A = this chain, B = another copy of it.
Amino acid sequence: MGVVIPLEENRNPQASIAPLLELVHQDMALVNQLILSKTGSDVAMIPEVAKHLIDSGGKRLRPMLTLAAATMCNYDGKHHVTLAASVEFMHTATLLHDDVVDESDMRRGKKSARMVWGNQASVLVGDFLLGQAFRMMVDAGSMAALGVLSNAAAVIAEGEVMQLAAAQSMETTEDDYLAVIRAKTAALFSAAAEVGPILAGSEKPVQDAFRSYGVNLGLAFQLVDDALDYGGSKQALGKNTGDDFREGKITLPVLLCYRRGNEEDRAFWRDAMEKGSSDDIALGRAMQLMEQHGAISATISRARHYGQIARDALAPLPASPHKEALLEVVEFCISRVN
């Protein structure tokens, strides 16, 4: 007897980020202004590279989390704008360094910064944006928020090294992989959400709720991203199907497919991911194996699990438009896989 996983539970293919954007759009305008002003530099290359990334169609989900969380906790100052911008700078710095480390040619459907300005500029402009992020955190004046965000900065980098050092083996367990994405993706979602109640001076259970919401939303977001790489259209994600595969990046769909396959399948995955035999013919076989073993739907099912934890984390908090919008963001992150 098999177990039927209720894939359709809570599914809302119309789920959107729009209600959140609508609620925070005035503050986001201030965040965008601040971002522009803080990428200014007499060194012309800095605003050029930063603008390339910042204009390239990211959803700015992370700063919106900070804004919505702060407002939902009745914060009435202006420092949530400063921290939201610093969160986006941390994210942008990470993208710049990631592209260098992964030797990526494309980012959101555009040439990556390193392809336009070189690896050197990507490393250094990333460092500059990180420095600016910390400057802004100091401006915001909350030592507790600084603690959360500086912790995230170290954890993110640790996660990246973990992935570089240990996770490039097909023997990586699902737990190992989760530890990597918990650090490299979920930690910033978590910090972005948590600094809202911290600024507002909310009680610890409220802080904890937002932290849990953030980390689980981040896990769901990353797992869906992993799934999209083997099934999303180029248009939907702004990256080509199979980018992770071609880069030999071992993600959860690959790990599940490897475990569920036979010896011959496993040899194929080892060749493709560990030895770099990942051309378009191999990608075709990979997609076929994913289909055969239900690896994509299993990955989305995992994402849905973390999404549910994120929803329940916010459950004790009083009803509000912001809460509704944050719950819908969970659905949006999962349903964008269509």
Question: Which residues of A are in contact with B by a Cβ distance under 8 Å?
Answer: 41-46, 97, 100-101, 119-121, 123-125, 127-128, 130-132, 134-135, 137-138, 141, 143, 146-147, 150-158, 160-162, 164-166
Cβ of A43: which chain B residues have Cβ within 8 Å of it?
158, 161-162, 165-166
A45 to B164, CA, bound (A): 9
Bound-complex Cα distance A151 to B38 (A): 12
A250 CB to closest chain B CB, in angstroms?
15
Give the residue of B128, B134, B154 whose beta carbon is less than 8 angstroms from that of A128.
B154
* Chain A facing B: main interface SS: helix
Q: How far is the CA of A128 from the CA of B152 in the complex (A)?
A: 10
CB–CB A150/B131 < 8 A? yes
The answer to whether B147 touches A138, judged by C-beta atoms less than 8 angstroms apart, is yes
Q: What separation, in Å, do the CA atoms of A164 and B147 have in the docked complex?
A: 32
- A119: B residues at CB distance < 8 A: 100, 119
Taking CB atoms, residues of chain B closer than 8 Å to A130 are: 127, 130, 153, 157
Contacts of A146 in B (CB 8 A): 134, 138, 146
B44 and A165 contacting across the interface, CB-CB below 8 Å = yes
Closest residue of B by beta carbon distance from A90:
B131
Task: Give, as a whole number of angstroms, the nearest-CB distance from A317 to chain B.
Answer: 27
Q: Please state if A124 and B154 are interface contacts (CB–CB under 8 Å).
A: no
Given contacts A45-B164, A137-B150, A146-B146, 11 further A-B contacts (CB under 8 A): A43-B158, A43-B161, A43-B162, A43-B166, A97-B123, A97-B124, A130-B130, A131-B157, A134-B153, A138-B146, A138-B150
- CA A336 to CA B127, docked complex, whole Å: 31
Complex Cα–Cα for A120 and B121 (A)? 15
